[in-house]
């Protein structure tokens, strides 16, 4: 028998062990918190409506409306009141929709996720996914967190909710620089996106508000629309007119 024939066959390479032990997952859940998009308590619609009457110009118009009504100028009073109401309605709708936008983002998140725990595939609530978990993905799944691909087979994801890309995105294993634009991160999958085709295993890198979807939710919640230069000038003119009105009223009252 030849030496080649008698040599033992090489042992197969061991399967990679991905995922976390249950104890480690519990510790990380306490450290990082649940995998949820947090938000402030919903604000009352009346609060948004009241905020539309904070500007001085609005009060000046309301005052002009009252004076027109007292003088019997009904048409002028109705016209001014209509302008005030329409302005308040437009502002109310804009702020109310922005406040509810975070709820719409939360609707994109997955209710559950399949992960490798203790070396076994298990379905858990998505809120319990932690950094380091190994997500098991297949067609139709919603990605529960931002994750780096460990293995992928013909993986295509839909990222329209995150990047606006309407066609499926081809994903593959391979580390890309952190400076790579979000839409070109072929080595990552993101919370709120869905798997169009293929299978994959991905290591969770970020959960909850630390995900890309969480950053968007934070920006939507904290965004404040600055005043335009025209609005700032109108506020200055309004204050000046209010001072003049009060001064003229006081002068007329004193002369009378």
pLDDT on residue 27: 93
Q: What pLDDT is stored for residue 124 in this prediction?
A: 93
pLDDT of 11 over the 50 cut: no
> What Rg, from alpha-carbon coordinates, does the chain have?
30
Reduced to 3 states, what is the DSSP secondary structure of residue 227?
Answer: coil
Nearest to 133, CA basis, from 225, 227, 208, 37: 208
Q: Please check the confidence at residue 139 and state whether its pLDDT lies above 80.
A: yes
More confident residue, 190 or 89: 190
First to last CA, the chain: 130
Distance between CA atoms of 221 and 100, rounded to whole angstroms?
Answer: 9
Q: Which has the higher per-residue pLDDT, 203 or 4?
A: 203
Is the pLDDT at 18 greater than 50? The verdict is yes
Locate 28 and state its tokens. Answer: 């990380």
Percent of the chain at pLDDT above 90?
32
pLDDT at 2 over 50: no
Tokens at residue 39, please? Answer: 């938000």
Q: What digits encode the pLDDT tens for the residues 41-79?
A: 566 777 777 777 776 677 777 887 887 788 787 787 888
Question: Which residues have a Cβ under 8 Å from the Cβ of 57 and sit 6 or more positions away?
Answer: 234, 235, 238
Question: Across the strands, what pairs with 123?
Answer: 114
- For 20, half-sphere exposure in the C-beta direction (CA atoms, 13 angstrom radius) is 21
Instruction: Render pLDDT for 196-229 as a digit per residue (tens, 0 to 9).
Output: 999 999 999 999 889 988 888 777 666 666 666 7
CA–CA distance, 36 with 208 (Å, rounded to integer): 5
* pLDDT grade for 12, boundaries at 50, 70 and 90: very low
DSSP string, 136-178: EEETTPBP-SEEEEEEEEEEEEE-HHHH---S-EE--S----T
| Model confidence pLDDT, tens digit, residues 183-202 | 888 999 999 899 999 999 99
Alpha-carbon distances of 183 from 2, 53, 73, 234, 237, rounded to whole Å: 57, 41, 59, 41, 46
- β-strands 120-125, 112-117 pairing: antiparallel
Q: Which of 11-20, 46-55, 144-153, 229-238 has the lowest mean pLDDT?
A: 11-20
Q: What is the average pLDDT value for the chain, to the nearest integer?
A: 80
For residue 157, pLDDT beyond 60: yes
- Name the band, by pLDDT with cuts 50, 70 and 90, for residue 4: very low
- pLDDT for 41 equals 59
> How large is the average pLDDT for residues 140-158?
93
Q: Is the pLDDT of residue 32 over 60?
A: yes
Closest CA to 128 of 17, 212, 20: 20
pLDDT level of residue 116 (50, 70, 90 thresholds):
very high
| Structure token digits, residue 77 | 């009073």
76/197 Cα distance (integer angstroms)? 63
Inter-residue contact 217 to 102 (CB < 8 Å): yes
Specify the pLDDT at position 230: 62
pLDDT bracket for residue 15 (50, 70, 90): very low
């Amino acid at each position: 028998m030849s030496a080649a024939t008698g040599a033992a066959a090489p042992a197969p390479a061991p399967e990679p062990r991905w995922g976390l032990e249950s104890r480690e997952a519990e510790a990380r859940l306490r450290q990082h918190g649940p995998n949820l998009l947090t938000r402030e308590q919903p604000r009352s619609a009346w609060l948004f409506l009241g905020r539309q009457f904070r500007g001085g110009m609005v009060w000046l118009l309301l005052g002009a409306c009252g004076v027109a009504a007292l003088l019997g100028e009904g048409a002028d009073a109705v016209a001014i009141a209509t302008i005030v109401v329409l302005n308040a309605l437009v502002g109310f709708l804009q702020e109310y929709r922005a406040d509810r936008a975070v709820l719409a983002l939360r609707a994109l998140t997955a209710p559950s996720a399949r992960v490798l725990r203790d070396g076994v595939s298990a379905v858990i609530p998505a809120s319990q996914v932690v950094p380091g978990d190994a997500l098991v993905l297949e067609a139709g799944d919603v990605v529960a967190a931002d994750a780096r691909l460990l293995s992928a087979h013909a993986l295509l994801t839909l990222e329209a909710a995150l990047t606006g890309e309407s066609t499926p995105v081809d994903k593959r294993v391979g580390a890309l620089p952190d400076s790579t634009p979000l839409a070109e991160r072929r080595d990552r999958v993101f919370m709120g996106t869905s798997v169009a085709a293929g299978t994959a295993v991905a290591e969770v890198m970020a959960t909850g508000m630390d995900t890309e979807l969480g950053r968007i939710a934070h920006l939507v919640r904290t965004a404040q629309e600055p005043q335009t230069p025209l609005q700032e000038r109108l506020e200055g003119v309004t204050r000046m007119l209010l001072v003049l009105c009060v001064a003229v009223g006081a002068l007329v009252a004193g002369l009378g």
